[in-house]
A and B are shown apart, each in its own frame.
Chain A
Amino acid sequence: MTEPLLSIEGLVTQFDTPDGTVRAVDGVSYDVYPGETVGVVGESGSGKSVTVMSVLGLIPQPPGRIAEGRVLLEGNDLLTFSNAQLRKVRGKDIAMIFQDPMTSLNPVLTVGSQIAEAIETHAPDLEDDAIRKRVVDLLALVDVPNPDDRFDQYPHEYSGGMRQRAMIAMAIANEPKILIADEPTTALDVTIQAQVLEVLKRAQDETNAGTILITHDLGVIAEMADRVVVMYGGRVVETGTVEEIFHSPRHPYTLGLLSSLPRPDTDLERLEPIPGQPPSLITLPSGCAFHPRCRLGNNRERCQFETPELIELGAGRRTACHFHDEMDEQVRLIEQATGAQIEIETEADDT
């Protein structure tokens, strides 16, 4: 592969809370290459959103603080950028799509003007007519019907899916190098989700942006991602290509996520849910943060006391499990117990 567009290296983001300092992101590293989609999976509180917010400098400071690490965009460390420099990156080189389209658009401004604003900020010399034309084209690209009329409408006149597509249009308005989509379909109806993903894919093709797709929905990952980063308790616990992750997970948490997918093909609603609750960052378990919920670890001493390092298994294939070599056995056990296959179809399998 070529050089990565974006490299996150050892990022640590902390928050000061009344109960002490919390490491919401604890030494996270991953790369994004041109044109690829990196899926970031994890439960809420796993630090997946905080990571990308840190990249753009959107963490409220205080109480937040980026304590360590580097974020290299084509070799330049964004964390050393001034506010003015960062502003030139936001919305231009790196654009973002947020979770809730209902609240992410300003209710008192027209949708068109909000997209136009994104263009105007980064190209102040452009004529108003040219901007408007560009916005209308963008709205058409994301399947907003009658884009010329819709330009002058307010967010409340758009449907939920349409709003999210408008957000996508806004994000790609300046042909960003990196597109970050933070749970872009979570707030939407299932029927709308597919359309939005479709539009997202088209937008990405259009701009050839490297994409970070944050979601807790493995179905979305299977559909969209090339590579996958699994996060838990503020750390990366497994990385790999989408086939590797889905066919031979190397971390029990990933396996847990796969087994807890709804399975219409079997009698069971899901194969094997993960027991327990996602951890509170304030009282993160010692050793491997996942150990209280881990069937593989089974409360072995090493899991309780020794924090596993993220170790390299192959090119781009990493895991943070002391007992990753027992994973094949574990997969077989679950498959035997439930009589179903763990792996689910990914986009890559079709092609």
Chain B
Amino acid sequence: MLNYALRRFLISIPIILIATFIIFWMISLTGDPLQDMRQLPNITTEQIQRVRDMRGLDDPFYVQYVVWLQQIPTAGFGEYLISPRPIGPDLQRVLIHTLQLVIAAEVIAFIIAVVLGTLSATRQYSIFDYTTTTLSFIGYAMPAFWFALILQVIVIQIFELTGVRILPLANLSSANPGTGLAFVWDRILHLVLPVMSLAIFSIASYSRYMRASMLEVVGSDYVRTARAKGLREGTITRRHAMRNALIPTVTVAALSFGTLLSGSIVVETVFGLDGMGRYLFVMIQSRDPYPIMAVLVITAVVIIMFNLIADLVYGYLDPRIRHG
């Protein structure tokens, strides 16, 4: 099991290398990364040339790529192009924020989806089933950014009507968030709308899988056996059906973690959150290759880690995998 996970991890390394190489190449295609710097007043051609020489910007892109690779073991993700500040601290900060958002969304989406999918499957063709299924189709067709804006519009309209601010509309914390529990509570309130926006697509997607696999399991021979034993329907659903139906749903949830991460770009933009997605977006616009590369590598590593966790959960749920 662990062996398998380790192998998966090792296989991912060349893929990350190739991906970063391609991205590096694409960045190099877009022309001058010092464009913004040239706009600065008081900057001389010599200063710009000095930066170019220092960072090897006149070398071919593959040489630059190798330089980037070589400095990783010692310098981590390196420094910004324009100002000689290390990227690491910024990256750490935005990563933590994004993980708070994304993990909360993933966990909440998973729990809601499992409940909805199970109820829908055990009440197939009921009004509840039709309603959740219809809503899940809409959730599928709805862009995250629009849902996020709709939530904002609703909160604003409530404020216009009643004068009550039910939830904060932007940022990760209030101006004076306090410390300890007060800080945590403040953060939670700030994350409610972003998490809802991000989770909606996953709820739609996972609940469809859960419903489909529950329907399959409910018709299985071992559920019939359980029924023939005289178990209650509730026990059958919880003990026999759900556990089996969770297996494919867990896989889907794990593989969709990347989708959530990309969704966070949009959600962070709408809510003005200081997260990795927005950071990437800003860096792309300034065409600074090192931070872009850093975000890509971190994204890949986070997704791989998450897949490993999913493999472990998978093994826990399915003894055939555990022993296999």
Contacts and interface: CB of A to CB of B under 8 A. Distances in A.
A106 interface: yes
B114 to A, nearest CB: 16
A266 interface: no
A87 B320 contact: no
Nearest to B233: A83
A56 interface: yes
Interface string B286-324: 000000000000000000000000000000011110010
B229 A104 contact: no
Q: Which of the four size classes fits the interface of chain B?
A: 20 to 34
B244 A107 contact: yes
A301 B228 CA distance: 45
B227 to A, nearest CB: 6
Interface stretch (A90-98, A142-150, A233-241): A90-98
A103 interface: yes
A108 B250 CA distance: 15
B111 to A, nearest CB: 20
Nearest to B223: A106
B99 interface: no
Given A98-B224, A103-B221, A108-B244, A121 B320 contact: no
B93 interface: no
6 contacts: A88-B230, A90-B227, A106-B226, A108-B247, A109-B243, A117-B231
Interface in B207-242: 220-222, 224-232, 235, 239-240
B230 A104 contact: no
A156 B222 CA distance: 13
Contacts of B230: 87-92, 118, 121-122
A67 interface: no
Contact of A117 (B220, B224, B229, B318): B229
Nearest to A102: B221
A57 to B, nearest CB: 9
B323 A56 contact: no
Contacts of B320: 107, 154, 156
A105 interface: yes
A100 interface: yes
A40 to B, nearest CB: 17
A58 B244 CA distance: 21
A167 B228 CA distance: 12
A306 interface: no
Given A103-B222, A154-B320, A167-B225, 7 more contacts: A98-B224, A98-B228, A107-B318, A107-B319, A109-B243, A156-B319, A170-B229
Contacts of B318: 107-108
A110 to B, nearest CB: 8
B216 to A, nearest CB: 12
A157 interface: yes
Q: Which of the four size classes fits the interface of chain A?
A: 20 to 34
Contacts of B225: 96, 98, 104-106, 114, 167, 170
A108 to B, nearest CB: 5
Contacts of A56: 228
A204 B224 CA distance: 22
Nearest to A154: B319
A154 B243 CA distance: 14
Main secondary structure, interface of B, reads: helix
Interface of A: 56, 58, 87-92, 95-96, 98, 100, 103-109, 114, 117-118, 121-122, 154, 156-157, 167, 170
B228 A107 contact: no
Contact of B229 (A108, A109, A121, A156): A121
A167 B323 CA distance: 22
B239 A118 contact: no
B70 to A, nearest CB: 48
Contacts of A104: 221-222, 224-225
The 10 closest A-B pairs by CB, nearest first: A91-B230, A90-B230, A91-B229, A103-B221, A106-B222, A154-B319, A118-B229, A96-B228, A104-B221, A87-B230
Nearest to A157: B323
B320 to A, nearest CB: 5
Contact of B224 (A58, A87, A89): A58
Nearest to B240: A106
Interface in B226-269: 226-232, 235, 239-240, 243-244, 247
Nearest to A87: B230
Given A106-B240, A107-B320, A156-B319, A100 B228 contact: no
Contacts of B220: 103
A100 B221 contact: yes
A174 B80 CA distance: 74
A157 B319 CA distance: 10
B314 to A, nearest CB: 11
Contacts of A109: 239-240, 243
Nearest to B317: A108
Contacts of B232: 87, 121
Nearest to B320: A156
Most B-side CB within 10 Å, residue of A90, A96, A108, A118: A108
Nearest to A57: B227
Contact of B323 (A88, A89, A154): A154
Most B-side CB within 10 Å, residue of A92, A103, A167: A103
Given A87-B230, A91-B229, A117-B231, A108 B224 contact: no
Nearest to B219: A60
A112 to B, nearest CB: 13
A56 B230 CA distance: 10
Most A-side CB within 10 Å, residue of B227, B232, B235: B227
A91 to B, nearest CB: 4
Contact of B222 (A92, A95, A107): A107
A108 B319 contact: yes
